[in-house]
A and B are shown apart, each in its own frame.
Chain A
Amino acid sequence: MLRRLAGSLRALFGSKAREIELDEEIQFHLARETEKNVGRGMSAEEARREALVRFGGVAQTKEATRAAGRAVLLETVLQDARYGWRTLRQSPGYAAAAVLTLALGIGANTAIFSVVHGVLLQSLPYGGGDRLVRVRVDASGAGIQDGRFAAPEIEDIRALSHTVEGIVEYHSMFFVLLGGTEPERVQTGVVSANYFDTLGVTPVVGRTFLPGEDKKGAEAVLVLSYSYWMRAFGGDPAVVGRVFTMNDRPHTVVGVLPPIPGYPEDNDLYMPVSACPFRSNPMMENNRHVGMMQVFGRLKPGTSFEAARSDLASVAARMEHDHPSDYPASARLTLSPVSLREELTRQARPTFLLLFGTVGLVLLLACANVANLSLARLVRRDREMALRSALGAGKGRLTRQLLTESLLVSFSGGLLGVGIAMAGRGLLVHFARRFTPRAPEIAIDVPVLVFSLAVSLAVGIVLGLLPALSPKRALSASLQDGRDAAGSTPTRLRARNVLIAAQVAISFVLLVGAGLMLRTLWKLSHVDTGFRSERVLTARLSLNFTRYAGREERLDFQDRLLERLAHEPGVRSIALAGTFPLNEGGPANGQYDVEGRRASSPDQKPRADFQRVSSDYFTTIGVPVIRGRALATTDRFEAPVVAVINDHMARHVWPGEDALGKRIEIETDPGKMTSVEIVGVVGDVRQYSIADAPVDQVFLSIRQFPGLGTCLIRTDGDPKRLERALRAAVHAIGPEQPVDRIRTLDEVRAGALDTPRLTATLLLLFASLALTITATGIAGVIGFSVGQRRQEFGIRMALGALPGTVRAMVLRQGMRQVLVGLALGVAAALVLTRLWASLLYEVSPTDPPTFLAVALMLLGVAAVACFIPARRATAVDPMVALRG
């Protein structure tokens, strides 16, 4: 078989060896002909010429010979394909089941591979590629993890590093953009002029920033992100040159970026550092304590990651040496490189690999099922095969026939599967977006298609060669049998039983995986978040920094807004806050001192999450005041500064004492420490993630520290009805103030579970697919063996066996494989589920209830799958069966 295949391939591609063989053969012919002619009395030269004449053109003969081989190969392939098509059309049930099963398996694999390829495998869509790094700063002694850089520190790194070139800085802020249809709040990346050169990004329209555009006094320019350009300007290239107002200054659009990952943030547009009113503030330029920037660079050619690591470590040592008061040794300042590629994919890796493993198992299962179907079909085709081989078809030819058929099936399945994957791409991108900014890169592109092609080919070959491995029945036996389905050989039966057990085992693993994720989801959605999310409207408000620079202006805005909204019908209470639980954003960590036990050094100070909230905040989101009072409207500038802390902090900082009346010191302005009295203790909430336990929190009055972030309204009825009133109120006070991200607190809470919910949904989808395939597989195999044994059952019943006994016998035989599979599945799951421990919440990877529930469900489904054909076994009229 393989030799023939090789021969065919040689003929197809005109291999060298075959060419030499043909040459030798012709030379032999000519030599013999020449000898013969010499024997007739010709001279050697004459004899040779005569031989060549009789032969008639060596080159033409060679070409004709090669062509003959090709034509025959093509002819047989087409013949096989036509024949295969006809046989498949004769059993449409088998063909449809096989194609559909494989389509689901290959489709799932294509889809997930497109995610794995787009996000984890292909190199970054930046010209700088995989040499790009982010410089990370830590000061473990001062409690700083992955901190931000201050301007002078960036200068230090630029001057001192020998291994990282093209050092650029980045931070992102919200500004209000005026000049479009309405004031819009835009997320703006603030970057060095050569930021896009370091990354290696070429604009699709216009240009990026020029050297010097980040210097003080430069004209303010903007570069739009691709998605913002599409969204706000419909992809109009004429946007280049337009002038917009931001921060009370004209800004000119100079270019549009290509679609690149929304990393570090999904910015709408970018400006050079000189255009950012905060970054260009002289205090910022020289202060080592106000850090908000991230630093990126590119490893110099030939530099290893490790070299960069030690180089950056020495940069940190040098900074500590030069500025001992800013970086005390106890703070343990460290700088390290982080591969950008790693950074962009780290969060996605475990989930995506888990899904890839899952669909791999689904494909295995699908293959096992189709293999089972084909084995059953092969038994019926024994006679056809025997007949064809008696008529002279070689074993190779028959194998090739079966291979062609299974390739037809697998490629049809593959084609359909790619269609399924294409249809699901949108959903997958939506899903992947939660894990990585690279999600838009997911595409059914050439590498993905090659993958599907390879999978289809592999599946087709395996399924096609499987029958070749199973022993043939003796020719005469097959032909002598009068009946069509002449019974299976024991080997085939055993093979099919093994396949059933394997299917059950794989299904068990997949179901347990899905079950564990569901349990996690259930646990997460039943976490007591500490606040009441129903009937609360939330919105994001952003004050224009330049217009509301002073705290008086801000306070005035806040007060007017609260007053206006308080009188709206349907409003029960209203609050303003920097942020609220489960909103986007990380902890606002700040340091403080407990009065009476001042920390010995700055980095020993305790830290807490500081929030600014208005007086009705706790009422509005339903957080109970446990002791003391909530913040009040009277807590404003003139009044003494007070704070409310959460229960966690009260117990943690003052264990066994009453926190009320205790005082802490916080730095309210640079260098100015203020004593703050604790006037109340409130309940704990899950502030940043449902899965994370509460942290120490300090709530300050937004009237003492004005600054808007969000607005929260508790309502009597549907909170969404107040959306219009909220917008109107804000615009009445400040026509240029954007109001956006309007959601109910319920939506916010549900959104916090989107990631585990989507993961669980996908896993459940694949597991259900697996269960369905397995159930049909079991029913198919049992049904087939019941069909084979009709006579036997007839005899048994004629001899007095009760239908129940026969049914039990069939059931027992079927369930034996299922139990074996279940045992294997439990063993495999005990090992494999450890891999997804990182995705679980308060559920053990070997959670006994999950294992038990899945085992029972699988047993139940398998029993039903066995029972349906078992009932048919006893529906046989003994007389009919015996005569048949």
Chain B
Amino acid sequence: MPPSRSDLLQGTLDVLVLKTLSNGPMHGWGISQRIQQVSEDVLAVNQGSLYPALHRLEEKGWIAAEWGNSDNNRRARFYSLTRSGRRQLAEETESWERFAAAVARVLAT
């Protein structure tokens, strides 16, 4: 079954979150800022749709959440990558690169 558009989008967002967290724990708002910043606003997602993704990843055991204090000393929920999350990221990155390379080869011909 080919992945539907939403699956693709969802998968993409998941990878972005995992990638973002690979630099260290971060709270939800931070993740949204980071994705926006790194992708130079191209991938500006609806900020709210980040939370279902975070929840899903947490349930899958790829990320873990913990309450902590943010830089301005407010209580925030920090997310961090778990071991299986790290493995998942590696897998996703690899398959993404394979996919991108394949597309690049097709386009280069």
Comparing A19-27, A276-284, A769-777, the segment that makes contact with chain B is A19-27
CB distance from B39 to the nearest CB of A (A): 15
- Give the residues from 27 to 56 in chain A that come closer than 8 angstroms, CB to CB, to chain B: 28-29, 31-33, 36, 54-56
Interface string of A61-73 (1 = CB under 8 A from B): 1101111110111
Q: Is B74 an interface residue (CB 8 A)?
A: yes
Indicate with 1 or 0, residue by residue over B46-58, a CB within 8 angstroms of chain A CB atoms: 1111011111100
Q: Inside 8 A of B80's CB, which chain A residues have their CB?
A: none
Q: How far is the CA of A58 from the CA of B51 in the complex (A)?
A: 10
Q: Which A residue sits closest to B60, measured CB to CB?
A: A72
Q: Find A57's partner among B48, B59, B60, B83 (CB 8 Å cutoff).
A: B48
Beyond A28-B27, A28-B75, A29-B29, is A54–B51 a contact (Cβ under 8 Å)? no
Partner among A22, A54, A71 whose Cβ is within 8 Å of the Cβ of B56:
A71
| CB neighbours of A161 from chain B (8 A) | none
Task: Select A56's contact among B28, B47, B74, beta carbons within 8 Å.
Answer: B47
Establish whether residues B70 and A396, one from each chain, have CB atoms under 8 Å apart when the complex forms: no
Cα distance A328–B47 when bound, in Å?
98
Please count how many residues in chain B sit with their CB below 8 Å of the partner chain's CB atoms: 29
B84 interfacial by beta-carbon distance below 8 Å = yes
Check B75–A24 contact: CB distance below 8 A: yes
Does B32 sit within 8 A of A, measured CB to CB? yes
Nearest-neighbor residue (CB-CB) of A33 within chain B: B29
The reply to whether B47 and A25 form a contact with Cβ atoms under 8 Å apart is: no
Is B98 engaged at the interface, CB distance under 8 Å to the other chain? Answer: no
Q: How far is the CB of B37 from chain A (nearest CB, A)?
A: 12
> Would you give the shortest CB distance from A145 to chain B, in whole angstroms?
71
* CB of A427 within 8 Å of the partner chain: no
CB of B51 within 8 A of CB of A65, answer: yes
CB of A60 closer than 8 Å to a CB of B: yes
- The interface residues of chain B, by DSSP majority, are classed as helix
Name the residue on A nearest B77 (C-beta). A25
The reply to whether A68 and B48 contact each other, CB–CB distance below 8 Å, is no
- Tell me the residues in window 76-96 of chain B with beta carbons closer than 8 Å to chain A beta carbons: 76-77, 82-84, 86-88
A68 lies within 8 A of B59 (CB): yes
| B59, A69: Cβ atoms closer than 8 Å | yes
> In the complex, how many angstroms separate the beta carbon of A863 from the nearest chain B beta carbon?
50
> Which of A29, A57, A391 interacts with B28 by CB under 8 Å?
A29
0 or 1 for each of A543-572: is its CB under 8 Å from B? (1 = yes): 000000000000000000000000000000
Task: Name the distance in Å between B14's Cβ and chain A's nearest Cβ.
Answer: 11
A22 in complex: contacting residue of B51, B86, B88, CB < 8 Å:
B51
Counting CB contacts under 8 A, is A8 at the interface?
A: yes
Verify if A397 is at the interface (C-beta below 8 Å from B): yes
Q: Is A394 an interface residue (CB 8 A)?
A: yes
Q: Which residues of B contact A391 (CB under 8 A)?
A: 87
Interface assignment of A808: CB less than 8 Å from any CB of chain B: no
Interface residue A254 (Cβ < 8 Å from any Cβ of B) = no
The yes or no answer to A423 lying at the interface (CB within 8 A) is: no
Mark interface residues in A427-440 (1 if CB within 8 Å of B CB, else 0): 00000000000000
Q: Assuming the A-B contacts A25-B77, A61-B48, are A72 and B84 also in contact, with contact meaning beta carbons closer than 8 angstroms in the complex? A: no
Establish whether residues B56 and A60, one from each chain, have CB atoms under 8 Å apart when the complex forms.
no
- Interface membership of B11, Cβ < 8 A: no
Chain B residue numbers with a CB within 8 Å of A71 are 56
Indicate whether A28 sits within 8 Å of B61 (C-beta atoms), given known contacts A55-B46, A56-B46: no
Given contacts A28-B76, A64-B51, contact A11 B59 (CB under 8 A): yes
Question: How many angstroms between the C-alpha atoms of A758 and B26 in the bound complex?
Answer: 71
Asked if A8 and B70 sit within 8 Å, CB to CB, the answer is no
User: Which of A11, A61, A394 contacts B82, CB < 8 Å?
Assistant: A394
Question: Which of chain B's residues has its CB closest to A73's CB?
Answer: B59
Distance in Å from the Cβ of A406 to the closest Cβ of chain B? 21
State whether A32 touches B29 (Cβ < 8 A).
yes
Which residue of chain B lies nearest to A36 when distances are taken between CB atoms in the complex?
Answer: B33
Contact A26 B51 (CB under 8 A): yes
Taking the closest CB of chain B, its distance from the CB of A167, in whole angstroms, is 67
Known contacts being A28-B75, A56-B48, is A397 close to B29, with CB within 8 Å? no
Known: A65-B55, A68-B56, A392-B83. A31 touches B48 (CB 8 A): no
Bound complex: CA A57 to CA B54 (Å): 17
Query: When chains A and B are docked, how far (Å) is the Cα of A397 from the Cα of B27?
Result: 25
A68 contacts B52, C-beta separation under 8 Å: yes
Would you call A55 and B84 a contact (CB within 8 A)? no
27 contacts between A and B (CB under 8 A): A4-B61, A7-B59, A25-B28, A25-B51, A25-B77, A26-B51, A28-B28, A28-B74, A28-B76, A32-B29, A55-B46, A56-B47, A56-B49, A61-B49, A61-B52, A64-B48, A64-B52, A67-B52, A71-B56, A72-B59, A72-B60, A76-B59, A392-B83, A392-B86, A393-B84, A394-B84, A397-B61
By Cβ-Cβ distance, the 3 closest A-B pairs, closest first, are: A392-B84, A72-B59, A61-B48
16 additional contacts, CB 8 Å, given A11-B59, A65-B51, A392-B83? A4-B61, A25-B51, A25-B76, A26-B51, A28-B27, A28-B76, A33-B47, A56-B47, A58-B48, A60-B48, A64-B52, A68-B53, A68-B59, A69-B59, A72-B56, A72-B60
